[in-house]
Structure 1
Amino acid sequence: MKPAAGGGGWFISALGAAQLCSWGTLFYGFPLIAEAMRAELGWSKATLYGAATLGMLLAGLAAYPVGAAIDRGHGRILMSGASVLAGLLLVAWSQVDGLVSFYAVLAVLGCMQAATLYEPAFAVVARRVGAANARRGITALTLWGGFASTVFIPIIQFLIETQGWRGALLAMAAVNVIVCGGLNFLAIDQPRDVPVRAAEPGEPLPVAGRAAVAAAMRRPSFWGLMLAFVSYAFAFSSLTYHFFPLLLERGLDSTGAVAVLTVIGPAQVAGRFLIGAFAPDAPLRWLGSAIVVVFPFAVIGFALAPPDVLVIAAVAVFYGAANGMITIVRGMAVPEMVSRDGYGAINGSLVAPMNVMTALAPLGAALLWQASGGYGAVLGAIFAGSLTLCAGFWFAAWKARV
């Protein structure tokens, strides 16, 4: 019997609620806490964000082993355990007074992000329903996660203002231990996963782990996706971390810049909803090939649009919608364009260099800004990255046909 697409309402809702809380506390909370720490401890932004960069680098290294472990059926203990450990690390963070302890906590916390955010959850869904049937479940998870900043940024800021950043971290810790840990443990149930796909007569046995990755690496579509996703990570991370000062340099005031940034989150959710409502079964290679075109045009819009809030916000809406859609494409690219075997391991091998680029790109953009004296050169580099994103995905889509 064919498994239900998405794996059932409770399963997806529980995982989705855990994703909302994990993203809200482990990802979107950092800039708010870092700013409060800077004000109290006097540490520089470079020092604070250096710890986050270290954590993201280690998250990249952890991506493959996390995916391979989920392929072997360890999703429940891995994701629920990582949520609990993340909560304990947030408690430890609330007590730091020195750089060594701060960097140590953020380093391990980066590894916990690799075991709690989208990619491991996607792998869990693929294991429950089969990789070929996972698109609707993955789309639903991204809808939950898309509200994380909207829900948690004001909550965390309120906690910082009323309880201080140390108190806010303790509240965030409780959310991870009780809510995320509990929901991941209750939702992920290996006996309910679909059996490993049996080989058809004359077909090679399904592969997993390193063998699955080795087989994937022999497919040109794998390398096309690698180029596309690393290019996307460079463009997205550079723009995300520098968008606010870029808008100020373009002539907007701080209120206008915040207004532009505010529309991106809802646009991401809207983009994901549109896919779920109108293109739930569209071939991914065609869907992704159309979505990636938006990114270079959005960069051109940010570079050339007049300093008018409404105009730049309109460009940001298209950028945000495409950004939301590309998350779903990332989640389903492996089974639809590379292989239906070894989802977690193959996806982890693609995510690893992507996370490394996500960690390094903001620093590279900052150095380029410093060397050139403005964000024009940075936008030029981001535009080049958006073109290689298109080229890589189109190449992968072409090769996935054969």
Structure 2
Amino acid sequence: MLAALLCADQGYRVNTATLPPRPGPARIALLGVLQILSWGGSFYLLGVLADPIAHDTGWSHQWVLGGASIGLLVASLLSPRVGRLIARVGGRKVIAAHGLIMAVGLAMMALAPNLAVYLLAWVVLGAAMATGLYDALFTSLGATYGMQARPIIVGVTLISGFCTTVIWPLLALMVHLLGWRGTCGAFAVLVLVALFPLYRLALPEHVNAPAHQRAEQGAGEPLAPSIYWVMTALFAIAAALMTCISIVLLTVLQARGHSLASAIALAALVGPAQVLCRVIDLALKRQAPLFTALLSSGMTAIGLLVVEFVPSLVAWGLVCYGAGNGLRAIVKSTLPLVVVRPADYAVVSGRMARPALLAQAVAPIACGYLISTLGSEAMIHMLAAMALLAFGLCLWLARLIAQRQALHGQAAV
């Protein structure tokens, strides 16, 4: 039963006759570019601006970086409400408004006269992250198109996967020319004139399903609490793992004896591996999210175990990790469609996003504490253990879903 479930196409379907037209390649590419701007103006902003802000203002570097944690905390608190809002009015309005919210947050940061206003700007940017990053966009696409959203999501991640490649050099150039305050102000103008109108162009209008279709969508079994919590824990651990590695990878590699240049070169392997696995996934045109989830968590675990125990093969370990992590965004947006009714998808996805965002908010603090108290080797052990735990949860989830499908089969007979 489990083997058949892994190989078969899975997920609740939506009535294609009532769907708005799916975005073509041009609009998918546009969504990918807009996501680069969305992530660059929020989640990845301090990758370049943290040092200039701390140097110019004299504010503690820890507090400057803490702004991002505050933003992620706010995003986690708002994510369930955003899911309900998307279910009610559609993703087009919510995600377009994200551009306005982000512009306000960046403008506040540019004008911040003190640390309190700077941190308040991150509260606003947290609201922007909740309403416009992957969670909101993919929830909107999944609620609209069901499993047919998968190739759209993969296409968006192919483009947006180059975010840091594009955004960090752009931000560095802007800081050099305008200073950090000028950069925040200019980026605020950019997202204001780009995100609001272009998201409205790229995303379809919200279409209320007819009453008979809503009844059909709501006719299935409710989501079992065991499946919900295992899936939520899996997403939270995977999100924390990704955040931890993005923060400590260079530190860990240098502690293992690599020079800074060598560590950067090795870390650079992760990005192409992420993109390559998404290209392969798009080419295969499979609709088997559970298999993809096991592949993602398994490759991530194997990659980090190689990094930990086989230092001579660290490059291959990072490629394997990158491939597994590259599938993570696809898994997070499509795996719930295996067990969640289309009518409930946006609300359930919003609820599942909260623990993952909380884990990402706590991860920088936890990583810093672990490295400072127990050292880099303890950090490597922790990363590998988290990856193994995620793979174990994925296996458990597959078993729970197989049992659920078996019960449905018996009920049908």
* TM-score for the superposition, normalised by structure 1: 0.89
Residues 51-90 of structure 1 show CA distances to partners (whole Å, capped at 9, x for unaligned) of 1111111111111111111111242222111211211211
Which of 128, 131, 136 pairs up with 2:151? 136
How many residues in Structure 1 have an aligned counterpart in Structure 2?
387
1:254 deviates by: 1.2
Q: Secondary structure at the match of 1:251?
A: coil
Residue 266 of structure 2 is aligned to residue 256 of structure 1: no
**Partner residue in 2 for 1:160:** 175
Residue 297 of structure 2 is aligned to residue 296 of structure 1: no
1:175 deviates by: 2.2
Q: Decide which moves more: 23-32 or 319-328.
A: 23-32
How far apart, in 2, do the equivalents of 1:134 and 1:196 lie? 23
Q: Secondary structure at the match of 2:337?
A: helix
One-letter identity of the residue aligned with 1:336: V
Residue 390 of structure 2 is aligned to residue 392 of structure 1: no
Residue 163 of structure 2 is aligned to residue 126 of structure 1: no
8 Å contact kept, 1:268–1:325: yes
Q: Decide which moves more: 1-10 or 375-384.
A: 1-10
8 Å contact kept, 1:149–1:265: no
How far apart, in 1, do the equivalents of 2:39 and 2:211 lie? 30
**Partner residue in 1 for 2:161:** 146
1:303 deviates by: 2.0
How far apart, in 1, do the equivalents of 2:144 and 2:210 lie? 9
**Partner residue in 1 for 2:229:** 223
1:191 deviates by: 4.9
Q: Secondary structure at the match of 1:94?
A: helix
Q: Secondary structure at the match of 1:190?
A: coil
Residues 91-112 of structure 1 show CA distances to partners (whole Å, capped at 9, x for unaligned) of 1111123110111111221121
**Partner residue in 1 for 2:83:** 67
After superposition, residues 3-402 of structure 1 pair within 5 angstroms as 3=19, 6-129=22-145, 131-191=146-206, 198=213, 205=218, 215-216=222-223, 218-278=224-284, 280-306=285-311, 311-372=313-374, 374-401=375-402, 402=404
- Could you tell me the percent identity over the aligned residues? 24
8 Å contact kept, 2:289–2:331: yes
1:273 deviates by: 1.1
| Gap regions ≥5 residues in structure 2 | 1-15, 405-413
One-letter identity of the residue aligned with 1:155: L
How far apart, in 2, do the equivalents of 1:196 and 1:392 lie? 37
8 Å contact kept, 1:95–1:166: yes
8 Å contact kept, 1:223–1:396: no
Q: RMSD value over aligned CA atoms?
A: 2.3
Q: Secondary structure at the match of 1:28?
A: coil
How far apart, in 1, do the equivalents of 2:239 and 2:140 lie? 23
8 Å contact kept, 2:304–2:318: no
1:117 deviates by: 0.5
Residues 336-360 of structure 1 show CA distances to partners (whole Å, capped at 9, x for unaligned) of 2343332111111111001001110
8 Å contact kept, 1:337–1:396: no
8 Å contact kept, 2:92–2:205: yes
8 Å contact kept, 1:67–1:344: yes
One-letter identity of the residue aligned with 1:286: F
Change (3 A) 1:194 1:14: farther
How far apart, in 2, do the equivalents of 1:199 and 1:18 lie? 31
One-letter identity of the residue aligned with 1:250: R
How far apart, in 1, do the equivalents of 2:212 and 2:181 lie? 48
1:11 deviates by: 4.2
How far apart, in 2, do the equivalents of 1:167 and 1:197 lie? 54
One-letter identity of the residue aligned with 1:275: D
Residues 229-249 of structure 1 show CA distances to partners (whole Å, capped at 9, x for unaligned) of 122122222221111211111
How far apart, in 2, do the equivalents of 1:205 and 1:270 lie? 37
Q: Decide which moves more: 190-199 or 362-371.
A: 190-199
